[in-house]
Structure 1
């Protein structure tokens, strides 16, 4: 076990405050109600850190804080002359933050040099008294330690169903005190070990759930920063018949928290008990004694924030499930087979089973429990040792004591049940813990910090994190095809003398041109490394720009010159990685003038000839005068478009198109499927089989969407190639909408309008004008309108239905 008793996560050795006035009070009384009033006047005053700049530029001032979750208490560091290079003006905020982390590490490694430790014996007890009380009750066995143990230093006793009378419930809401509570306090005090004097630190009550914390008088000057609170979880989720009570205080420089609870009752109520447990953990507010309105939460998502040792006990009501009452009794009374208790707990105990389940384990696993070797604590006939026969309850270990320790040693010594008690239907349970209290020697701590600052002075250069990239600053992806994914990796190695935290900085565009990294941040220990996986995919948004760079003959055309991965070291320099790679030409993203002049598929055309043709077509920007210099088109429309139209022109094949084109289509092909379709078109090969229904249709729409020719729809600047393409597309659409696909006409119109209206970089929906033009085009195609007379015979569709 690592004995890191000091939590330095919030400790800032570079932000100092004067604490000369933070002295221990001379007297501190423990007399119940008067305790809080006198503590408010004489309470410890641990200091709040203030920024370094304020401390160096202003006179010292003392500050009060709520509490400290660290054993490292604030103290005075050397003067400003010793800290001149810590200021933000000297080296910047990042470097100053790195030095803070390094000094924290230095102190954490040397905390034993200025911390003293002493043993502390804590006695926790829980008992559901079932509304029973008699002044003759003998609590000696419950409260007295075994003969081989010394008297406990602290008692934490939790009661459930303390007083269920209607009058007591009314008094609870009016005065928070009841006669039954006072009687139990006096009864407990009478049974404390007579060899020592004990005083009440705090009592907290929620209806009939009552928590009493007492300590030896010899410890009272060390106990301060007392907080307490309740959380109701009963009827409708906020009734006080169930819930938890808690007390937290600081002893020396160690935080202790005690939580007594009564969770939901009943068999098959595991979910309710889990919700109660979680609500108490996450919602219970600890009020500062003597100060109105100030509080802190008990914990955050199961972590006892601010507490080094936490004890969670009470009538947790976890039952034995999946077994009958008779089977449990038969196994317990079977003396020929030892190990009955452990066998029943391992197989049927709800708490143990919940800790093994992912749903519940996140909150239960942070707590531990000592080994149980006593019989079930519930349910018995009052006045006897027999299990209850009236309600036929399955005997269970309902009363439990859990604990957790953060950076502090805490060992259970004896976990037992007082089986001889017959006052209630529950048996009381106790557990004694041997833990430690840390006390910081302030003068020794000052000397250690001063040595740390001197050490940092001599290692100023080593304070900064240093990392190198392997194999280098260039990330080679090779040749990238459209929509396909390529993977590369970088290794970030910590070559410095401190741990290095890094994060990937976003580019101004928010994305690295299709490069995605994992992870995007981490902390690398000294001598360690982190492998960063990079996935590059040139999709519809990145491909058109890459095609233009390739046509212009630029090297590494897959990425723009500004596509740089910036790795920021926290407190250190930035590291740059440049993605490198070229593209493999594809039919996607090419202008009509280029596609219609190709005699062979893209990948079967001479690379240099194709590059010249593409460059000329892009420079012409669709101008008929410039395009005429390239010679007449070989095809009226691109062969690739024709192939996709023919592959999707069957009106009997159902269209899978949601009404809203912004929704994700079930038929949308994946990146790899789209890459295979594009490769087949670019090579002139057969289209891949076993694609999702409608994948070819989506590939066709994307091919139209990625055409750089604009405008495609009728207008003053529309080219003849665009008119021929629209004529064929509209005729295809009319044929496709025959029969059962007619009900998808509006969805297809929206998608065609979006594909033909604006280039793929635009994410806005199609304009109303574009939708009208598509509808008009479909009508003209059906009626053989003015343009229909000039169409080739193969493109005419005389039998199409009117819109």
Structure 2
């Protein structure tokens, strides 16, 4: 039994500082929201999946005074219902055979901390053992809170709670389990559930609030638990210890403590799907039934303690005739002789007998501070109730005595310090309603007074709702001649529960503490959710709502047109793939596929592509950067001005269709690099979002063909003849096959040849009237700066790169009839693209840093080298990277050759009017006319060389990132790079040396 009752680990008490936020027994899970209509429909059928359940709740409260051994009594009075003196007991106490019960004198004589102090041969006088479904125990001062060490301790010692849990677990019947616990220094709250009730306990949350020293420490305050029974009924239990003291300041502090506990208590959100408002944590006041118990410390006001002691001692004298003579269990200063009932006396009802305990208690209760504060609206006035008090005060007694009030020097007056209050949702709502009515009436009175209307003269009678007819004026409304009727209480979840207070009494015969234990037993009939029934009803409701919703919900069908696949793709296509398969894809070569969207519903459907999940290698947007989508119709008017493709919306009427073309094209060097490295792919999913309808997912896939672009020189020189595609995804074997990358060699060789053809064709077919239309006559950077087509449909560049990757003839990339001049411009642009995307560049970062350092040193020392020495100095540095050096010299050779060809073609003929007077424009290198030679042909060469050097300076060198450089610094660095290239372009043989 002990193991089952201790199922909640002691780890629940880890460093729970006073005033901490809720510490839930259940793990926090993400609260999922249900569609409002589904929740309402399920709620409307709640009667089909709930069944009535009955539970008896026993709430016990005891201030143990920090004494040792008191836990020995916990099982006898709290679980077994013993230790009640029936003649001095309260509401709902059973009659028992008093003749067999141990006498008071014998009980007091054997009092020890090693065994229970309740009378021997005692029987249960209230509900006990299996009769109770929930045991709720609130203890105060389980440690000595008067000790500064304990009161200021920043953590809670779990061994104290373990000691009490072990005692309770031993006493409980088999199968009871601990469902909630919370400790705050001396406060301990334990809740146990029977095997029948335990499966219905959900959403357990516990918390604590310290109100002691500095308004925060845990020597005073409360520990609180919230549970939900059957997913329908919220229960809150508050075990508190309020400020002590009999003066007015202490009274105000008790009221303040209660207000702090109420305002600062917060529980975890309810995770039950039936709750319509789950977002925020709940507090005290949101429950259906609340129980507030503990040492509230309210005293008897305005009456001397000795007078109270004398009044009450009369009854402690009279309740045991045999022990009254030895005077062991009573106070000796009562002032009254022992009362004896005559055999011939006529029985008098207690409420009519001036000498009865009933009359004595009723005479004292008007002095009770708690009831006074409730009536004044200062504490526990908002719907809190209490059962009829028919038992002796629970404080303060001599330890080890049954009915001896404090006989120490302090002689503290007896008081009902220990209380058990309860509140239903109905009583709280009733209080709120009356408070609102009073507020409105007061507002109306103030308005009338402001208008000069005074009703005092016309009032026939005065009624004060705060005082007249207050039920607290009658302190004992319980009629013993009638069975109490249960209260019908509407719950937050919309159910009607039945609630009844069965008993409310103290255990006078427990003598191990200076407080007497107090208990109340409540009967609760509630509707509990049957999970299996709820699941079945939920499925029915969901299906019905889904059917109803689908009939009026937009619906579209998305169809992929596989007929647009090429013949080659069909041979390798996967017939089981439901999406769009673009097949093999290479740089600059577009692939197109078509899709059809049809409205298959009964209402208009508005749709558009939704935002894709963001990938670190791809920008945010509705489509990946390599994809374009074009619809055959214009978007809706509302979205025509949308700047983002994801905002475009299209509306189809029922049975209407719309076609769209998807075009895939990879022309970004950054994307090529990622695809080559395998860090990105051409697989994606488009989301077609239908407004108020379901999403449609369109998978995309394509197979990337490796490209020689974006690779390093050291890798390219190892690619075998046949191109990078010949490797079929395999890495090169590591053997160096070329001195320079074969792709660069092919491009430079082809460019020289095509330039020669273009010049020859112009020379053969041209005449005097159109020679000046040749591009090299008005563009000194031709063919590297030209008017190459740059439209989306232009795929010549992709064909050239494809020829490089497959080691095929460039002629396959050009459409029939393209003039040599355009072919030359395309190849020149392809060369620049290839050089620009080299990972390490022709002249690497480290090589350039050495060159830049040498240039800076000479400039600083104003040292100048002649051209040959400077070239030798550059070549010595480049020689440390032989393949890069060879590539650089190959490019220089090509540029010299093309410069020579163009210069020769531009030599003036006698009949050419502008040859001797004009030079071509300089699109890349601003040149002053006076810096050029006065010889036209030499000046032309100089102009071409200057432009070529500037163009290739951008693509040949790799330097430190220029992002943080100022514009002037960038210009200076580029000029140095261009000067290095130009140094090698000049040739003494052609007069430009």
Question: Please, what TM-score do these two structures have when normalized by structure 2?
Answer: 0.34
Structure with greater Cα Rg = 2
